[in-house]
Amino acid sequence: MEFKHISVLKQESIQGLNIKPDGVYIDCTTGGGGHSLEIVKRLTLGKLICIDRDDDALNYARIKLTDYLDKIVFIKGNFVDIDEILDSVNIEKVDGILADLGVSSYQLDTAVRGFSFKQDARLDMRMDKSQSLDAEYVINNYSESELSKILYTYGEEKNARQIARKIVKIREKQPIETTFQLRDIIISSYPPKFQNKASLCNKAFQAIRIEVNNELKDLEIAIEKMLSRLKKCGRICIITFHPLEDRIVKQAFKLHSTNCICPPRLPKCVCNHKADIKLITKHPIVPTETELITNSRSASAKLRIAEKL
């Protein structure tokens, strides 16, 4: 299957990076290479580091970016390991970092990857196909309370307890191995009057995917590392698709752009905390009406940008 993916907020994020022709940039989530192409086209003596956990994404990106291979280093990895990745290529600081946290259309639409409830496949959901933890293991081995917590916390699924209870009940009789099995369990956990809703499984599948790929925990750690690797006046652009992701980015940017974080009741500052970034976007940038028409999957996207002081 061809690697198809429409890059979200492409022009806005490229403008936000404020690219220098001789700068060093990182695309932490290369995906289909759409953002990477726009970055590398603006480089003369600069360098672009393309990172992705997905072998399929990197293989496709090499083809898409074939005219610029002299300016690109491709690395299979997780952006949470950005320190090790930069050390491996002898780069201390960079001029810009881009992270698009969305699941690619290719991953969603390729049945065998097991991300979608719209196509039947083995429960998988791994962005990195070489990792051991997958959705099938989560569904068949996590306790009822663990499943409920994941569904409620990561998916904001109000029916989390009922779904978790039904999963455990079903798997006692036979393993739950496919996306359609999980889909049917989720639907049957709802009262009949709700069971005809097409989006009924969205939140639960999203929650399981986040758990499998450790997305939110990695993001918290990664932002701290990313900011520490930015040069003075370097830019960081992060595109989120989930309220919890956006909250993590917003809180991290707020903390790092604030001089004093002492409780308001203290008469003077004792924390000695100094801001090390300034916010370029006080409010997130969202897709235009035109982008929403051409790419409905961009609907929940939010872009936040900051600059290193």
Domains of the chain: 10-100+215-308 (3.40.50.150), 128-213 (1.10.150.170)
Q: Give CA–CA dist 205/125, Å, rounded.
A: 9
Q: Give CA–CA dist 11/20, Å, rounded.
A: 16
Cβ atoms of residues 25 and 97 within 8 Å:
yes
Give the Cα-Cα-Cα angle 60, 66, 69 (nearest 5 degrees). Answer: 110
pTM above 0.75, yes or no: yes
The pLDDT of residue 268 is 85
C-alpha separations of 160 from 153, 164, 195, 243 in Å: 9, 6, 15, 18
Paired tokens of 6:
């429409």
The pLDDT of residue 18 is 97
Q: Give CA–CA dist 25/230, Å, rounded.
A: 10
The pLDDT of residue 5 is 62
The pLDDT of residue 296 is 86
The pLDDT of residue 4 is 58
Query: Which residue ranges in the chain fall short of pLDDT 70?
Result: 1-5, 105, 198
Residue 111 CB neighbour total at 10 angstroms: 15
- Which of 70, 39, 75 shows the shortest CA–CA distance to 55? 75
Paired tokens of 288:
């235009």
One-letter amino acid identity for 107? Q
For strand 47-52 and strand 24-27, is the pairing parallel, antiparallel, or unpaired?
parallel
- Strand ranges of the sheet holding 94-100, from the earlier edge strand across to the other edge: 72-76, 47-52, 24-27, 94-100, 230-240, 302-308, 277-279
Paired tokens of 173:
């009789």
Q: With the C-alpha atoms ordered 217, 218, 221, 223, is the resulting torsion angle positive or negative?
A: negative
Q: What are phi and psi of 96, to 5 degrees?
A: -170, 150
Paired tokens of 178:
């496919």
Q: With the C-alpha atoms ordered 79, 83, 84, 90, is the resulting torsion angle positive or negative?
A: positive
Q: Give CA–CA dist 43/222, Å, rounded.
A: 25
